[in-house]
């Protein structure tokens, strides 16, 4: 009953078909926080934003700092508590990250370098 009274009418209709508080709570968590896969995707996006963070053109320091703080705060809210994550899940996350990094390195355009051969022409130096 406590959950029912705390919800708005639209939220109530989402969970009213469930009989147990745990089922209601789980439905609300998925509705507002997403599944574990959604959470992982959010974290990966935030880590990517953090790793590639640069100051935008025509951006002042205070707005850049605010943007950076938004990324950091979102990461703190979304990050997993490593004390409760099973070792297998942690290993899987690290392996996935490693694969993503190798894919990214493979897909980056290769920089071409051009070397010019310099020749010394003694006569042209004297003319100048």
What digits encode the pLDDT tens for the residues 5-18?
888 888 888 888 88
75 or 54, greater pLDDT = 54
Q: Where are the domains of the chain?
A: 1-33, 34-87
Which position has the token pair 């297998």?
A: 88
Query: What distance in Å separates the CA atoms of residue 78 and residue 72, rounded to the nearest whole number?
Result: 10
Residue 93: partners with Cβ closer than 8 Å, 6 or more residues away: 40
Average pLDDT taken over every residue of the chain? 76
Structure tokens at 57: 């053109």
């Amino acid at each position: 009953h406590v959950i029912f009274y705390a919800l708005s009418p639209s939220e109530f209709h989402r969970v009213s078909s469930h009989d147990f508080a745990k089922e209601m709570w789980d439905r609300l968590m998925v509705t507002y926080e997403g599944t574990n896969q959604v959470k992982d995707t959010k974290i990966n996006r935030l880590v990517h934003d953090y790793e590639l963070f640069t100051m935008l053109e025509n951006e002042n320091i205070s707005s850049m700092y605010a943007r950076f703080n938004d990324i950091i705060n979102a990461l703190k809210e979304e990050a997993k508590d490593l004390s409760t994550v099973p070792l297998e899940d942690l290993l899987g996350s690290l392996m996935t990250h490693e694969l993503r990094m190798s894919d990214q390195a493979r897909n980056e355009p290769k920089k071409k370098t051009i070397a010019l051969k310099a020749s010394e022409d003694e006569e042209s130096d004297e003319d100048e």
